[in-house]
Structure 1
């Protein structure tokens, strides 16, 4: 990343986004925090995100947008829930109270309102509000990134792409961090199946800054979705030195690397990456993305028949404390994988029980409103798969397979549930389920030609059932 020129009060005003503080130091620290959020880094030269947030409050404890970015990062990190975390709820209330006691610009008021909406669990409305901000402030990186991440959590792929496409013309090559905005756009293109265009845009972004781990991540996805496994492995090897120090996303990029090895059936190589990078990074960070990646990777390896040993035990020690969060169904499902994998029946039962209770009275919380239709059947399917009740897995998953996108995450992440359905149908004793397995494998082969994993599953299925 090029040296950061941090904006003071006047610079923010000149950009059309006046900040309600007289502290130039607070404004610069706000910019420093924003730069790190967008670039997925904890830049030691800037004090890291945590250091910058602390200094913002020291420079001006009443700076509303300082509270906005601090609370926004907590919310978008989805590791804390104001519903069950009274300290976090207090921090949000401080932000709201400050906003009522001082004159703010309409831009600032909208940011406060969007965060309050997100905190109440209305993610779709919050994302919409950040997009409204961008109509008048297309250079507002905070709104761009918060909208992008929210649409990702919602599985709203088209919105994620279009939210960026609308503001791209305002970002010239000389605008700081414009390549990172292109990187975000590349991911939206990828998730809406414009693979070649996504590869082109991400490559352009990396030409500007090879350390852009989000663009690296897009390219990793492209090679996976096109089943170009050797190209993906070569890309990972050639670029590792550029992204491995990006502490906020490196674990996830290593996860993609491990997926290539699973595709090829090189399980020891995948486990080596897990033991050397993926698990240690998760234990060190406790970040939700890292937790999800660890759960997903171990579950995929187990489905391949790999004995992952005691690795679940270390992971469940991290996930157990999030059992009652219920911020995203996507996360809950990965917590469940860890409790099933480790044999923690108490955690499994507690998670399922609390989901059932929330489904009875979801209120206005978007994720809670999806529990009955998606959260419960997906959870029950994972439990059934774990116990070998394959007919029940098919009965639960097949009717909702085209709705699973609503739990959020990427196509690559959600592919785990496609694999669960395929493997359950393959292992079922019911003839119609075996025919379903054949159809799903043909479908997968058409969408992802030359996939070693698909070919392996086809061979396995044909050894047990006739596919013609």
Structure 2
């Protein structure tokens, strides 16, 4: 308790054990470990303090993508947190944490970030506020804010501050997403020099190599570091996903599928987490666009994704659930996802994500449906006008690249000469941003072949 007080992050409790447990869960969160054991063995002690409720509910809301609208247990836990916060004297920092999580739960994600920023202005070493805000900025597509939020507190994270190396990794990721690739890689490698098992910093370097289309460098890095990050609870499968993307980029599809079969699919069936659903759906759909025969691999994804059909917490997640239902040719689930999203989008509310559904989320979903139905011209008509708005759906630049690939493939398959010309323009753009990309070169050759036939 005194240590938290000395750090300027006092917890409103007289229990040293509760403070130790909060510290342990926060440490596991930074290390990309799942604190399930602590919940089961010490859950009552953790939620004896308000900040215990905050971290437990935050992990459920932000970490797993659960919704208070559909998860009665989570709704009850949030109510218990709010009730406890009103019954105890709290610090201003703790009150802001409660308000931020309440805002997130009601879909007011930008407001939640504003409240976490208020905390960081006065308490720059509040790691929970930093971590939750980073994750939420990512979901909003606010990459500049994600970078600058860490930049503002970074000088306070000196080497003697516990877990400071992980903050280097957060900063590196924000730099990478805003195209400061060299600075991002340098900082991520500094973090790895301190802690080679930092899966998030490995993940940042994987992104750098992906965005620069430095395929051989990326493959070598993943192979060299695999033993250091493959034990990560949260990011191991996602790092394997990045590894597989390099093989897809090269056109070595069997190598990519081997990674999928050995590491990504088994993890999905084990965890059922939203990140693993996104990775599986996105990877299989990229291979589908490349014309790869996938056998029955799609069939296992809806076993985990179908229960998320009505969540509509994040539109980015919805689109990936849709990919899985389209891949498995599950028309009922596809219709259910689109219908329930359309109905929710009609109801006036403060929910940030649902406010984007009519203008961005639904047109994107419908573009996928039209493409799968062979209506490529319609898919382009839906997707091309919103392509610069898709960042608002969140995710990383690498993750959203599947939407760019869809647009290019749809345009290439259009009957209209104008849209075939559009495909060539899109490929020239891509070639500038990712020089020497094998995938771009393949698609440029295909576009030239289409033109010569025409």
TM-score under structure 1 length normalisation: 0.95
The 5 Å alignment of 1:392-431 reads 392-431=378-417
* Corresponding position of 2:143: 157
* Corresponding position of 1:11: 3
Instruction: Determine whether 1:348 maps to 2:338.
Output: no
The 5 Å alignment of 1:181-220 reads 181-220=167-206
* Residue from 33, 41, 51 that aligns with 1:41: 33
* Corresponding position of 1:266: 252
Question: Residue 18 of structure 2 contacts residue 48 of structure 2 at CA under 8 Å; is this kept in 1?
Answer: no
* Deviation of 1:243 (Å): 0.2
Could you list the per-position Cα deviations for residues 399-457 of structure 1 after superposition, in whole angstroms to 9, with x for gaps in the alignment?
00100000000000000000000111111010110110010000000010000000000
Could you list the per-position Cα deviations for residues 368-409 of structure 1 after superposition, in whole angstroms to 9, with x for gaps in the alignment?
101001111000000011111110111001100100000000
* Corresponding position of 1:6: none
Instruction: Determine whether 1:451 maps to 2:434.
Output: no
The 5 Å alignment of 1:18-29 reads 18-29=10-21
Q: SS where residue 81 of structure 1 aligns?
A: coil
Question: Residue 295 of structure 1 contacts residue 335 of structure 1 at CA under 8 Å; is this kept in 2?
Answer: yes
* Deviation of 1:58 (Å): 3.0
* Residue from 106, 114, 117 that aligns with 2:103: 117
Could you list the per-position Cα deviations for residues 194-249 of structure 1 after superposition, in whole angstroms to 9, with x for gaps in the alignment?
01111111111111001101000000000111110000000000000000001210
Question: Residue 22 of structure 2 contacts residue 46 of structure 2 at CA under 8 Å; is this kept in 1?
Answer: no
Q: SS where residue 283 of structure 2 aligns?
A: helix
Provide the rounded CA distance (Å) in 2 between the counterparts of 1:328 and 1:227.
28
* Deviation of 1:86 (Å): 1.6
* Deviation of 1:53 (Å): 3.0
Question: Residue 21 of structure 2 contacts residue 46 of structure 2 at CA under 8 Å; is this kept in 1?
Answer: no
* Deviation of 1:54 (Å): 3.9
Provide the rounded CA distance (Å) in 2 between the counterparts of 1:242 and 1:402.
37
Provide the rounded CA distance (Å) in 1 between the counterparts of 2:96 and 2:135.
18
Question: Residue 391 of structure 1 contacts residue 424 of structure 1 at CA under 8 Å; is this kept in 2?
Answer: yes
TM-score under structure 2 length normalisation: 0.98
* Corresponding position of 1:45: none
Question: Residue 23 of structure 1 contacts residue 60 of structure 1 at CA under 8 Å; is this kept in 2?
Answer: no
* Corresponding position of 1:4: none
Provide the rounded CA distance (Å) in 1 between the counterparts of 2:338 and 2:423.
28
Question: Residue 377 of structure 2 contacts residue 411 of structure 2 at CA under 8 Å; is this kept in 1?
Answer: yes
Distance 1:177 1:12, change over 3 A: same
Q: Higher mean Cα deviation, 20-29 or 449-458?
A: 20-29
Unpaired segments of 5 or more residues in structure 2? none
Provide the rounded CA distance (Å) in 2 between the counterparts of 1:179 and 1:18.
22
* Deviation of 1:362 (Å): 4.4
Provide the rounded CA distance (Å) in 1 between the counterparts of 2:162 and 2:79.
33
* Residue from 38, 41, 50 that aligns with 2:36: 50
RMSD: 1.2
